[in-house]
Chain A
Amino acid sequence: MRQVTNICKKEFRSYFVSPIAYIVISIFLLVTGWFFFSVFFLYDQANLRNFFQLLPIIFSFVVPAITMRLFSEELNVGSYEILLTMPVTFWDVVLGKFLAGVGFLVCLLVPTVSYPITVSFLGQLDWGPVLGGYIGAVLLGATFTAIGLFASSLTRNQITAFIIGVAICFALTVIDRTLFFLPRTALGFIGYLGADFHFQNISRGIVDSRDILYFLSVSFVALYGARLVIQEKS
């Protein structure tokens, strides 16, 4: 556990050393802010539903950009040789990097708290769904971080890692909107795979154990995959 903290601290810090962190945060705030407030006054409702509806799609592009360097850079520079010959296990490495990614994601979400605060001045805001939405956003972000981390472990090229990450995250986001192409028998199962489906449940303020279980299990599978890939490289 000590090693997980050490690796996490180092990775988290190195986000803020390079300009990429500030660029990603700015773009994220710009995009969400624009899409949310440009239609907010047309709806004339004091809630954040629009913001949370957008989030899965935006996350499926932003999160892989955050995670793409976590393993790819190490593979490219060769520093993973140094990392893996220090007294750490594969799980220490994977979890440390994962938690650093989630930590950064939280930093990304914190400025958006200004949206509900602004809205609460304009009307009667129900804070329940907002809280649920943020819990869901962290869970969804963590799941995508795990997927992005897995994509990053596959290749030494950060661009490739980004594209693989976006492909998987995007597929999980839109899969439950493509159900009409699929046979009736598979509907329930495929629908259940959709990240958006589970996220929208939570963001309505319904924290259901099934949705939480979904995010946790997808994260676990992705992290386990990353661990296997890293192990296979030695």
Chain B
Amino acid sequence: MIHVKGLTKYFGDLCAVNQIDLDIPRGEIMGLLGPNGAGKTTTLRMLTGFLRPTAGSIHVKDYAADEEALEIKKLIGYLPESAPLYHDMLVYDYLNYVADIRGLEKDRKQSQIRRLADLCGISEVMHRPIGELSRGYKQRVGLAHSMMNDPEILIVDEPTSGLDPNQIVEIRDIIRKIGKEKTVILSTHILSEAEATCDRIVIIDRGKIVADGSTETLSRSASGELVINISLKDADFDSVKAELGSVEGVRTTTLLKGDNEAGDTLDVKVTCEGVGDIRGEIYRKIKETDWVLLELHRETKTLENIFRELTREN
């Protein structure tokens, strides 16, 4: 659907985006992550045709961005960061205007505006000036704006900033719903949001892609080893260490909490070679003893860790 090659943007001497290559297939929700000033917004602005790249090419479907920008704009719905809308217009007038620009036919226009108003929850503010709306409502109006022509590609820049937790869940649901058949690109610096909504995550830092893949691939690639946390009762650490150490693949066993007195809970951390999942073997080993197994779980490296690891200042 979208092919980006060697995308580069300079603002004067400042290199905002540096040689980005991306391939985004249809029906994918892609999350663009990165710290402030990493080049997220600049990348999105180039994809939407608002900024012209210094170098590199963008192809959307079969259209080249530098030649058929207008055709590409027809395919893309875009919600810029902080939804900059006309303050003096009424919400209804604004959506009506957008529908005209997007070339919706008269009979479809009203039903589409009504549908989007319901979807985005703005029916009750339709006759108020946009300037008087709260930030959350403005964001929703912007979202309705970006979906006016049922775009094949929806690009949203920090869609949930300024919304309350309920609204965030609603907006995520909307995005996921759209993402089933359409291509969605969203930028965010809220990691849980990317984890919750996106099929694929691209992390950029200082204008370069530093990671690209699904949440699982990213967590797997970032950690070479598997960490298992175990809570036991009626066990002493020395024998635990000895027993678990005999399981193939276990590298180290460390005590996290508890002591050797019987009756106390004992928390241990087991690190293993990153090849296979040996939780089964560990469980079987514990079953042979008379310890009480309270908890056994694999510690997944969260996106947060990966993100910090990859984008840390060096």
Contacts and interface: CB of A to CB of B under 8 A. Distances in A.
A77 interface: yes
Interface stretch (A36-44, A50-58, A81-89, A211-219): A81-89
Interface string B84-100: 11111100010001101
A88 B98 CA distance: 11
A234 B69 CA distance: 13
Nearest to A5: B100
A6 B85 contact: no
A14 interface: yes
B50 A234 contact: yes
Interface in A50-99: 77-79, 81-82, 84-89
Contact of A81 (B50, B73, B74): B50
B52 A82 contact: no
Interface string B140-169: 001001000000000000000000000000
B34 interface: no
Interface string A1-15: 011001101100110
B50 A78 contact: no
B45 A81 contact: yes
B88 A82 contact: no
A84 B70 CA distance: 10
Chain A at the B interface: SS class: helix
Given A77-B84, A89-B70, A234-B50, A82 B145 contact: yes
A54 B163 CA distance: 55
A82 B85 contact: yes
A77 B86 contact: yes
A87 B101 contact: yes
Contacts of A7: 101
Interface of B: 45, 48-52, 70, 73-74, 76, 78, 80, 82, 84-89, 93, 97-98, 100-103, 142, 145
21 contacts: A2-B103, A3-B101, A10-B89, A14-B86, A14-B89, A18-B88, A77-B87, A81-B50, A81-B80, A81-B84, A82-B78, A82-B80, A82-B84, A82-B142, A82-B145, A85-B76, A87-B70, A87-B103, A88-B73, A89-B70, A234-B52
Given A78-B80, A89-B70, 18 more contacts: A6-B100, A14-B86, A17-B89, A18-B88, A77-B84, A77-B85, A77-B86, A79-B84, A79-B86, A81-B45, A82-B84, A82-B145, A85-B80, A86-B98, A87-B73, A87-B74, A88-B101, A234-B50
